[in-house]
Chain A
Amino acid sequence: MSEDKHVLSILVDNQPGVLSRIVGLFSGRGYNIESLCVAETMDPLVSRITIVTKANVSGIEQINKQLNKLINVIKVHELTGTEYVQREMALIKVKAKSEYRAEILRIVDIFRCKVVDVGRAHYTIEVTGDEGKLQAMLSLLKPIGVKEIARTGIIALFREPK
């Protein structure tokens, strides 16, 4: 069976050790984590964990059930297959020699991102978007020279009915 990408949005008790339970479940049972984001929600007692995983149909069913079985998990939403918005942020440090500086700024402009740090030989660019946008941006910047990159991983929410 083919493995597809699944985005899971998990509400958990905001307590020490809870993230470790989730991550331990994935490693202990041989599931994979492509990306992971955690932060407090509006309710300080609750955190939201967004996990992107790859699994086949029966695999994702087990992952869902196993997550629900953890005592500190309040709710598991599988977003894949529903209407949802997703965003990822990246900070990209590109080499910025004088002959490329204008080109880089054009790309920044086209992708509607921001330069958040400038040096004599580099720009650090903040880019937000879905995975496709980040990939497209990176593929344009790579030939120019990407020094370092930090990505957040995906966060996502349901789209409410219009």
Chain B
Amino acid sequence: MKLSGAQILLKELQDEGVDTIFGYPGGAVINIYDELAKTDIQHILVRHEQAAVHAADGYARASGRVGVCLVTSGPGATNTVTGIANAYMDSIPVVILTGQVPTQLIGNDAFQEVDIVGITRPCTKHNYLVSNTENLAEVIKEAFFIARSGRPGPVLVDLPKDVISRVVEYKPPKTVKMKSYNPNYKPNVKQLHKAVKLIQEASRPIIFAGGGVILSKCAEELTELARKTQMPVTTSLMGLGAFPETDPLSMGMIGMHGTYRANMSTGHCDLIIAVGVRFDDRVTGKTDTFASQAKIIHIDIDPTSIRKNIPVAVPIVGDCKITLTQLNKLLDEVKLGNLKNKRKKWLDQIKQWKDTNPLAYGQKDIIKPQYVIEKLFELSKGNAIITTEVGQNQMWAAQYYHYDHPGQFLTSGGLGTMGFGLPAAIGAQIAFPDKLVVDIAGDASIQMNIQEMATAVQYCLPIKVVILNNGYLGMVRQWQELFCDKRYSCTAMAHAPDFVKLAESYGALGLRAEKPDQVEAVLKEGLGSAQTVIMDFVVEQEEGVYPMVPAGAPITEMLLV
């Protein structure tokens, strides 16, 4: 069968089960778009290529499938870089297809030429420049295989125009087998036995779960482990939803803005079972003093994550799901003793930390941002998919909404990309048309990809944008308040659009609340609407996120107000 490169590409995409592409056309990819229109793959036309990657990323986070985006060469390709770096830091499976000038022009500084493979080498899991049409099918297969297997990540495929337009004899590629890439999924059994022994011996254990639990779809196995062993659970920002936060064993989030009990428990525990985490600096604080009394069992598919920042007693390289399944089985075969008695003192201590220093804020006659999130949690019955921008809005969304399910909290954890939330919400809403999707935003970060309101309205996506409008780059302002004697250098957003009118101009619904007693009504109306909605909450300007561990300080030393 003779097919053009574009036809081969689309055939392979369909073969991979791709139903949606987020993209933006241009000269170098015009042939692909010509063929795309003949398929039943849905194309979402974003307004900026960065948003195409974030949307594909949000789609992948919510659905657990590979997100796909397609952009043209040159500026189309460079605009994706932030999105790619974002997906890379959070290990999200995304395939990015970029146009490229014809092979004979590469290196000539041709119009809209850029070495995107060179640019994205350090922020992709892998990338390809396809040099001839005969290799195309195989490269696409490999790209999807690499993106979704092992520790997932973004894979970029650069497609020169002549490779796409040439017609060749199409041979369906065989299944992917790569000599140099073969992720290890099965844990070492000896290490598992060591872990069981430590669990039996521990009197003050905790589980620390991260994004890896969500990526390997093992929230159930994790919950089983926690309940079986009566170990309290804290999660990283990326791990929110990996363990039901409404469960009594949940301690909430750990880290710089973690709960008092979660952070204190790491300082006093004698065992940490870390699952699918990488001990990021926002989690550990000062590494020398982190969990100084604890032995650590670290389960992760990526060997580089283990012993990178923190020494570990029992490293276990393997898929979290397979590992936890086997660990649970082994634990069934041994005696754990009377856990009710054994854990009582430890769980009481944690409860005491919770009671003395719960997450709290003072109510006033100005809207408190935390109150908005609490109300949102209540009115959405905890069932919304929440995306966030980055900064204070993100931390309050992490603290005051409670996540019971994986794939429910989509946030830019590693890179901290402002402008992530709205396009990610578009991706999530495409993946789950019937679910409530809410982007929790700040007045500054929403403006970084505000143009995607047009995308949301065009495709009738009933996304709700909650803007916590404090007129500042809130998180930087908070740091300036604490560490620069309130010298608010360049953090006041002195001029912002009228978000209600802005929503209306995009054809969306705009609502505003300026007093606490308006919050519930606005949320009810917004959440009840079938339209895309912006809800502008004018909140306390100088509210801070607490608890807070100053960067580089021990995690148990928190500022509480």
Q: B125 on the interface (CB 8 Å rule)?
A: yes
Choose, from A71-79, A112-120, A128-136, A139-147, the stretch at the interface: A71-79
The proximity string for A residues 74-90 relative to B, scoring 1 for CB distances below 8 Å and 0 otherwise, is 10000000000000000
Expressed in whole angstroms, the Cα–Cα distance for A16 and B128 within the complex equals 10
Choose, from A1-9, A62-70, A98-106, A152-160, the stretch at the interface: A62-70
Are A62 and B308 within 8 A (Cβ)? yes
Contact of A69 among B121, B122, B302 (CB under 8 A): B302
Q: B304 on the interface (CB 8 Å rule)?
A: yes
Contact of B307 among A12, A17, A58, A72 (CB under 8 A): A58
The proximity string for B residues 171-185 relative to A, scoring 1 for CB distances below 8 Å and 0 otherwise, is 000000011110000
CB distance from A43 to the nearest CB of B (A): 10
The proximity string for A residues 1-29 relative to B, scoring 1 for CB distances below 8 Å and 0 otherwise, is 00000000000110011001100110010
Are B179 and A74 within 8 A (Cβ)? yes
Nearest residue in B to A73 (C-beta to C-beta)?
B180
Contact of B303 among A13, A21, A65 (CB under 8 A): A65
Q: A61 on the interface (CB 8 Å rule)?
A: yes
Main secondary structure of the interface of A (DSSP, over half): helix
Q: Using a CB-CB cutoff of 8 Å, which residues 154-192 of chain B contact chain A?
A: 178-181
Contact of A24 among B121, B125, B302, B308 (CB under 8 A): B121
Are B307 and A61 within 8 A (Cβ)? yes
> Could you say which residues of chain A place their CB within 8 Å of the CB of B354?
none
Contacts A20-B118, A20-B121; A66 near B304 (Cβ below 8 A): yes
> Could you say which residues of chain B place their CB within 8 Å of the CB of A12?
180
**Chain A interface: which size bin?**
20 to 34
> Could you say which residues of chain B place their CB within 8 Å of the CB of A58?
307
Nearest residue in B to A68 (C-beta to C-beta)?
B303
Expressed in whole angstroms, the Cα–Cα distance for A68 and B122 within the complex equals 15
Are A21 and B121 within 8 A (Cβ)? yes
Are A74 and B307 within 8 A (Cβ)? no
Expressed in whole angstroms, the Cα–Cα distance for A62 and B308 within the complex equals 7
> Could you say which residues of chain A place their CB within 8 Å of the CB of B308?
62
Are A17 and B303 within 8 A (Cβ)? no
Expressed in whole angstroms, the Cα–Cα distance for A28 and B129 within the complex equals 21
Contacts A17-B117, A20-B121, A62-B308; A71 near B126 (Cβ below 8 A): yes
Are A28 and B180 within 8 A (Cβ)? no
Q: B254 on the interface (CB 8 Å rule)?
A: no
Q: B372 on the interface (CB 8 Å rule)?
A: no
Q: B350 on the interface (CB 8 Å rule)?
A: no
> Could you say which residues of chain B place their CB within 8 Å of the CB of A68?
303
CB distance from B215 to the nearest CB of A (A): 16
Nearest residue in B to A45 (C-beta to C-beta)?
B179
Instruction: Give 27 A-B contacts (CB < 8 Å), ordered by A residue.
Output: A13-B179, A13-B180, A17-B117, A17-B118, A17-B121, A17-B129, A20-B121, A21-B121, A24-B122, A25-B122, A28-B122, A58-B307, A61-B307, A62-B304, A65-B304, A66-B304, A69-B303, A71-B125, A71-B126, A71-B146, A71-B178, A71-B180, A71-B181, A72-B180, A73-B180, A74-B179, A74-B180
Binding site for A on B (CB under 8 A): 117-118, 121-122, 125-126, 129, 146, 178-181, 302-304, 307-308
